[in-house]
A and B are shown apart, each in its own frame.
Chain A
Amino acid sequence: MVFRRLLRKRWVLGVVFGLSLIYFLSSTLKQEERTIRDRTLLEVRDSDHHIQWKIKFILGNSSRQISQCRNSIQGKSLLTDELGYVCERKDLLVNGCCNVNAPSSSQHVCTSCLANGCCSIYEYCVSCCLQPDKQPLLEHFLNRAAEGFQNLFTAVEDHFELCLAKCRTSSQSVQHENTYRNPQAKYCYGESPPELLPI
């Protein structure tokens, strides 16, 4: 009875209210933090789920004019820009695009690429992958990409980034960890890993 009486006391209710408020405030704060870091927990949570990819494919009209290009940066002598042109470094314009008129430039070329979608030169792999007709292949791949690739392909933003990332050598490219499955054609835009060659 004393307890019930006590509960009716205004200050007791106040304390209860205050504590709830404190709890509410602190948990809201935590929540906020969690949304920032959600990405980090993503791959721990759902392992059998599809990747929520958000890639925007820009179809067809690849002759569109853009003032600034991203390109593949790393090449020893060749580069691929985001329109799919491959050119030599000396033919790169200041805006990062390949000089379309240079004799070395060509768009959507699959030189050095095999039928299974693996190429021996990275830049050609990217260029080939940027062909508009490769889009269904890439979408199909994204829908059933292995778990290990979730981090990578959920962070990819568009077709060009996808091709840059897809063509790189990865855990799919090796046998016995320290040797390539196929040292000649190791850059793959396609779904299957490089053909396995004996050591």
Chain B
Amino acid sequence: MSFSAVIYFLVLILTFYCTENHLAEVAFLSKYKCSCPVRFCNIFCSLSLSFLEYIVVFNGYFTAKARSDFISSALRDVDAVNWRIVRRDNPASDYPSDFEVVEIRQDTRSSLLTLQDHPYIKRVTPQRMVLRSLKLTDRNDTRWVQKWQSWQSSRPLRRTSLSLGSGFWHATGRHSSRRLLRAIPRHVAQILQADVLWQMGHTGSGVKVAVFDTGLSEKHPHFKNVKERTNWTNEKTLDDGLGHGTFVAGVIASMRECQGFAPDSELHIFRVFTNNQVSYTSWFLDAFNYAILKKIDVLNLSIGGPDFMDHPFVDKVWELTANKVIMVSAIGNDGPLYGTLNNPADQMDVIGVGGIDFEDNIARFSSRGMTTWELPGGYGRVKPDIVTYGSGVRGSGLKEGCRSLSGTSVASPVVAGAVTLLASTVLNRELVNPASMKQALIASARRLPGVNMFEQGHGKLDLLRAYQILNSYKPQASLSPSYIDLTECPYMWPYCSQPIYYGGMPAIVNVTILNGMGVTGRIVDKPIWQPYLPQNGDYVDVAVSYSPVLWPWAGYLAVSVSVAKKAASWEGIAQGHVMVTVASPAENDVSNTGEMTSTVKLPVKVKIVPTPPRSKRILWDQYHNLRYPPGYFPRDNLRMKNDPLDWNGDHIHTNFRDMYQHLRSMGYFVEVLGAPITCFDASQYGTLLMVDSEEEYFPEEITKLKRDIDNGLSLIIFSDWYNTSVMRKVKFYDENTRQWWMPDTGGANVPALNDLIAVWGMAFSDGLYEGDFTMADHDMYYASGCSIARFPEDGIVIAQTLKDQGLEVLKQETAVVENVPVLGLYQTPSDGGGRIALYGDSNCIDDSHRQKDCFWLLDALLQYTSYSMTPPSLTHSKNRVVPPTGTDRPLPQRLEGNHLYRYSKVLEAHLGDPKPRPLPACPHLSWAKPQPLNETAPSNLWKHQKLLSVDMDKVVLPNVRLYRPQVRPLSPGESGAWDIPGGIMPGRYNQEVGQTIPMFAFLGAMVVLSFFVVQLTKAKSKPKRRKPRVKRPLYLQQQQQQTPHSGKNPTV
């Protein structure tokens, strides 16, 4: 009887163990049920035979050459066959394949038969073309809306975690369902072929990765090597409450289900972001110090914010990379607007990552545009550095399982994981540093077609090529971008959108020097400009400025290109190169020669055209545009409460990009003035365009502009709102800096503008208006603009009926005001004098928050200012009113106690009111002395400019065919197959940590059991000894009677 009890116990344990597993499975399935494609029926497929194309399937995987050999040998016997192999240009074409698409034009039947006879050919089937039509609403739009909804809860000026808002996180069904049919759904690590490196035994071991995020729970089943968790926030927990940190850590190092890149890496979890999405610079400072002390190798920061002038933070990031921490950061989720890059991803020493979807389109949310640190005098750097999958990527869920997320905060850990894995492949770890890793990533990246460099950087991450480059890497310097081809469209947009000409503002290209030789470096002597004489290089003047010290690991090299006087009426292409030698102290060199040097060439190719006529040339005033950071410069559209700051740079290549494109398409040449108005030759330009200016004006500028306009320069001003009561109203308490923020100007600095245009008897008012109206048959929207208060009586003024937004903001009342003067046109009286056009709102030409554009108005105004053609639709408008004299209302005064002088280039603090500084000297470029070469440039500058002395073929990948991920088309119902653990990873990773404990318990139970069995056998051999112990045999009998009822004792 006892023996059977033992068996029962054993069965019990086994069942328990099994049910547990079974339960887990059920949980799995139910999880998938919820992410099953509900909208799946919305996608229709239609199949049609693609004419003359056949899929030839082979018996095994063969290289492209072998496949073509087989086909040609098979078809050799068929006479006069006209056939060709259809090229498939995709990343998979580098690897062996088991099929080929062949186009056969003649004698199809017989050639098909002969093809099928070939021993290596399995079958031949006609190619079918699959057409899919989507009945979904445009997913981009939904994404966009959701994104803005998510923003409302958090203020954008502080650092935010860069994944799309929580509302979006849960909407996985829509995205996964859509992708299920179109792309082969695999994990991002496998799509990037991390499994090839895993098979070679590289799994990230020995690399310390820090994840700065929302924490990680203690016993997450996906992680096996969490070395340490630390909390730097004011919340007393180490666990993740949002799922953001868990997801990010999972993409880097998850070992099961949705596998990460480097499961064996040492994870250091830094909790720097609270569940309420709050974080402070001071938390980061302390946490970064700890990361330096712990000698972290790779640090992922999926967090960013617009404040690149947070000096303690920026300095700390430099310090971090200077201590050899490879920092990877997300570029931001503020796309598709330009000028939206986030810090710290926009720093030269950081790897800034943008997002793409699985169809290789730049994700709509991915921030883009040049960096805006260098404005107004210089030009921005190229960022992001690289892009990778950031839309619908699968990673670890908060407690267990996987989830899909989108955002650049997803793309960043993809690169961080790849970097970790790459670092673990390098034998000599000394060679891995922030610069060499970045060099390898950008040199290996695959460029996406049709996307410019300010959106995609150097292209899409290619893990295996980066591996090859890194493993044959020799310390050197390199440039980003590696060449300047101002004719290459669309990659080199905006440079390629406008040729250069004599007399124009020089085109500035801000190149980043990456120095893999050491944390500090310097440029030896001076960069040399070497024009190619056969290619008209002498028609170009080049000036170069550069960082005096390249620290940490990087520096800038600003190349200004201008046209020589002798090419004033010449048209053509000119080429040359700039040669730079970088030197670094040799630290680990035993011979100790003192310095290592590396010389890089920067090819330059420009298109020159004859100088366009004055009327075609527009000068954009950048100098007087101020922005956040450093100060609080409020949004130009007060309706956009969730985005209170004007932070996109206000440049023609950032948030005025559409306007620039429009002006280019109308044949205008637009140049940028990054210096005071005193610094340009007005006789060269038709129109000076001042949009949304926040800066004050030097007295010298005011007099010079008056003189210029008397001499024929025209002026267009797009102003914006300025009302001191509203400015006081829109102040707010900033939790991030723990102080009150009071705007220093309105949307524009109207009092300063009024000083500028007072000489012509013009002024803007402090009214604040909003509303829709129609002007010259165009629908217009006036988004928080001012009105014209004074205008000369012989000018043309157009008025509209608008709502008083000032009243709405201050008292929540609505009032309609009739005849608000919004537009004014004026011809100055002097002989040959220029014209002036004023408009009260800049929002309709600004890309950020624009609802209706008014490029037609800009065209009309330019027609007026450049060609003196008064647009009849405006002059004969019924809305034309008598110009206001403005005597009834005082003009707006500057907000009392404003701190504009802190951020202004014009004002300086003074006892009493701030006073203008002395006028600074105009920037002067010293042109490099050319050293002409009698040389011809290579035809393809891009291919020519890869990393030096890197022989890609030297590092051989293992036979990829063996370890090739199993690509197979998935049918929609198969979605659950994604998460079967251990599909690709080597066996040992399939051992789950969570399973070891039950295993131990089971083993323990077995030990107990065997002990028992031994006891039992002992007891059986001595049955006599037991009998006397039984004192009440009656009970025993009872029990024996009961046993049949239990039905589990076979002995009875």
Contacts and interface: CB of A to CB of B under 8 A. Distances in A.
B1008 A17 contact: yes
Interface in A99-156: 148-149, 151-152, 155-156
Contact of B285 (A14, A43, A170): A170
B324 A178 contact: no
Interface stretch (B230-238, B778-786, B813-821): B230-238
Interface string B299-338: 0000000010111110110010011100000000000000
A173 B1008 contact: no
A160 B783 CA distance: 59
B1 to A, nearest CB: 9
Interface string B193-237: 000000000000000000000000010000000101111100011
Contacts of B289: 152, 165, 168, 170
A15 B416 CA distance: 50
A178 B311 contact: yes
A161 B293 contact: yes
A169 B285 contact: yes
A24 B368 CA distance: 57
B589 interface: yes
Interface string A29-48: 11000000101110110000
A46 B145 CA distance: 46
Contacts of B324: 73
B12 to A, nearest CB: 9
B39 interface: no
Nearest to A1: B1035
B807 interface: no
A152 B1000 CA distance: 37
A36 B241 CA distance: 23
B742 to A, nearest CB: 13
Contact of B1008 (A5, A21, A73, A176): A21
A178 B737 contact: yes
A197 interface: no
Interface stretch (B2-10, B253-261, B822-830): B2-10
A40 B1001 contact: no
B316 A26 contact: no
B902 A178 contact: no
Contacts of B1032: 5
B319 A74 contact: yes
B1040 interface: no
B292 A168 contact: yes
A161 B519 CA distance: 20
A110 to B, nearest CB: 21
A179 B996 CA distance: 50
A10 B5 CA distance: 11
A90 interface: yes
A180 B312 contact: yes
B319 A171 contact: no
Nearest to A199: B902
Interface in B573-607: 585, 587-590, 592, 594-595
A26 B999 CA distance: 10
Contact of A176 (B290, B738, B1005, B1007): B738
B551 interface: yes
A188 interface: no
Given A11-B6, A11-B9, A21-B1004, A171 B590 contact: no
Contact of A73 (B6, B285, B323, B1015): B323
Contacts of B323: 73-74
A164 B290 CA distance: 11
Interface residues of B, number: 69
Given A14-B1008, A90-B585, A152-B286, A176 B737 contact: yes
Contacts of A10: 2, 1015, 1019
Contact of A183 (B232, B311, B551, B737): B311
Contact of A169 (B290, B315, B997): B315
Contacts of B311: 178-180, 183
A177 B307 CA distance: 12
Interface stretch (B134-142, B276-284, B387-395, B769-777): B276-284
Contact size range, A = 35 or more
Nearest to A9: B2
Nearest to B592: A94
B133 interface: no
B218 A37 contact: yes
B736 interface: yes
B736 A74 contact: no
A18 B1008 contact: yes
A180 B237 CA distance: 29
Contact of B1000 (A11, A15, A29, A76): A29
Given A156-B293, A171-B282, A178-B309, A89 B585 contact: yes
Given A14-B1012, A74-B322, A178-B311, A155 B294 contact: yes
A190 B241 CA distance: 37
Contacts of A90: 585, 594-595
A55 B957 CA distance: 47
B902 A40 contact: no
Nearest to A168: B289
Given A22-B1004, A168-B289, A169-B285, A77 B549 contact: yes
A151 B290 contact: yes
A66 interface: no
Nearest to A14: B1012
A146 B774 CA distance: 64
B1000 A5 contact: no
Contacts of A40: 218, 228-230, 238
Interface in B538-554: 549, 551-552
A22 B13 CA distance: 12
Interface of B: 2, 5-6, 9, 218, 226, 228-232, 236-238, 280-283, 285-286, 289-290, 292-294, 307, 309-313, 315-316, 319, 322-324, 519-520, 549, 551-552, 585, 587-590, 592, 594-595, 736-739, 902, 996-997, 1000-1001, 1004-1005, 1007-1009, 1012, 1015, 1019, 1032, 1035
14 contacts: A14-B1012, A18-B1008, A74-B323, A76-B520, A76-B551, A152-B286, A168-B319, A173-B312, A174-B282, A174-B285, A177-B281, A177-B310, A178-B310, A178-B736
Given A74-B552, A171-B283, 16 more contacts: A5-B1032, A18-B1008, A29-B996, A43-B230, A44-B231, A73-B519, A90-B594, A92-B585, A152-B289, A165-B292, A169-B316, A169-B319, A170-B289, A174-B281, A174-B285, A177-B736
Q: Which 7 A-B pairs have the closest CB atoms?
A: A171-B282, A74-B322, A18-B1008, A178-B310, A40-B229, A176-B737, A177-B281
Interface of A: 1-2, 5, 9-11, 14-15, 17-18, 21-22, 25-26, 29-30, 37, 39-41, 43-44, 73-77, 89-90, 92, 94, 148-149, 151-152, 155-156, 161, 164-165, 168-171, 173-174, 176-180, 183, 199
